[in-house]
Structure 1
Amino acid sequence: MNANKLIKQIYTVKVCDAHLNKGCSRKLYAEQIGGILKEFQCFKNGDFDVEDKHGGGRKKVFKDAELEALFDRDSCQTQQELAGSLGVKQQAISKHLKVMGIIQKQRHWVPYELKQRDVERHSFVCEQLLARQRQKGFLHRIVTGDEKWVHYDNPERRKSWGYPGHVSTLMAKLNIHSSKVMLSIWCDQLGVVYYELLKLTETITGDCYRTQLTRLSRALKDKWRQYNERHDKVILQYDNT
């Protein structure tokens, strides 16, 4: 607040105090007293600056790059922490995030945290694979295969609306002993190449796997012209989907 405003408040309090019994607004009296006490506390703490610290001008505007820089530093910051770093209100951060299309996601669990040497090794291998792909494409040759139990009854778990504090609707987990069938499936970068459902009495054995690979080869001949002409060899990665 500026000096003129402070003087005006003190004068108003004096007038209200003198005419309090003549119908002067007690609310106005309380508001002015509060403002003076606040400034007095600043003077008591050694702050004699009577100029407005937060003027009534335009709101502070920040750019997307400033917000993205804070995310690069720590993507787990709360909106309050982001607002404090940029000197704005939390509501401004919330609106800006919606405009930018940024949403909050739960972290994914990983088996273990990679050490620095593991990160460097993974990065080196990725760079080699990218260089190999640029030199001569090979990703289209990769075929991955795996098995998975498929339940006959596979209900979809959906979100439900409710009031805060209310228990959401319940849904029982699948019984691991319920009716199910074994699915063997092979995919490339474009999608499913071949799949088959095993009979209830069948299991994956060496003979069964050889038969499946023969059928997979036939499916590849039908879908891959290069494979049929033997121009490309398949890079088979089993149990790696």
Structure 2
Amino acid sequence: MAAFLPSEDHIRHCMLFHFHAGLNAAAATRKICDTYGEVLEVNKCQSWYRKFAAGDYDLNDMPRSGRPVQFDEDALKSLVEADPRLSIQELSRSLQSTWSTVQRHLHQIGKKCRQGVWTPHELSESNKDQRRTICTSLLTRLNSDPFLNRIVTGDEKWILYDNVKRSRQWLLANQAPRPTSRPTLTMRKVLLSIWWDCSGIIHFELLRAGETITADSYCSQLERLQSKLIEKRPALINRRGVILQHDNARPHTARITQEKIKELGWEVLLHPPYSPDIAPSDYHLFRSLEHSLRNKTFNSVTDVERHLQSYFASRPADFYRNGIENLRSRWRTVIDNDGDYIID
């Protein structure tokens, strides 16, 4: 979704609002920039405050005489194409023009302000080549061996006890927003370990306070997963064979873990490093789970577990199958992207 880009008129109304609210120009500038980014300089706000203090609340520009200044749209286009992260304030300084003029011409050349996305890692050419090679190998295998329904995928995720988000509020001009408590630096949380396949959740655990995932504890988890597979997926254990998909975290790749997986008779699916975009839990299950946690508050591990059980049971029949089967198209996209990340 495109970020809201305030007009010059909107910024002036904000300054007038903060003036009547009793804030000085520096504080008003900080508040406006905290909300919209670097859209206002304090000296400009001070200029408007002097006008307001004189009893002039007209927000329109005064008429000016003389020849209008020519704006170089080609220079603007060159700047934003060289570095699309430049703010309007930075562009204004480079082009020696006003904020509102730059904003207007950005719209005229078809530019819109959109939020950037985080990527998990700065991929080297070697990383990209490895991602391409593994995805090509998996797609080639899939042509002769439809193995997606044999995949058991697992991962870990921190679940916060307090998931309250600060959001924008629709208010009257003189109405104060409802406050939201700031999260503490020592937020309570619990680590979820989970495994699932095309048919749904096979097993999940919430670690006790102070516990972490080590190679030894992960091996114990895999033994409990094996018991659940025997109970819930006997055909997978007895005939087809488990293909375990997990990432390259150290507990997953340790020697004793590899020995445990070999003892259980499972295959490990090839998975390139730094690749959450082709890990079903990351791109599918956890993303959906995050929406269900929004604005939820839990008082205990039992509350968290109850919510997770309810959420997992509420997913439609094709939810889990779609998450696994999307691997095919995502492998293809990685190849088409020359190994670069999939940006959803």
Give the TM-score range, shorter chain. 0.3 to 0.5
Q: Which has the higher contact order (CA 8 A, sep 6+)?
A: 2
- The normalised TM-score by structure 2 is 0.34
Give the number of the structure whose alpha-carbon radius of gyration is greater: 1
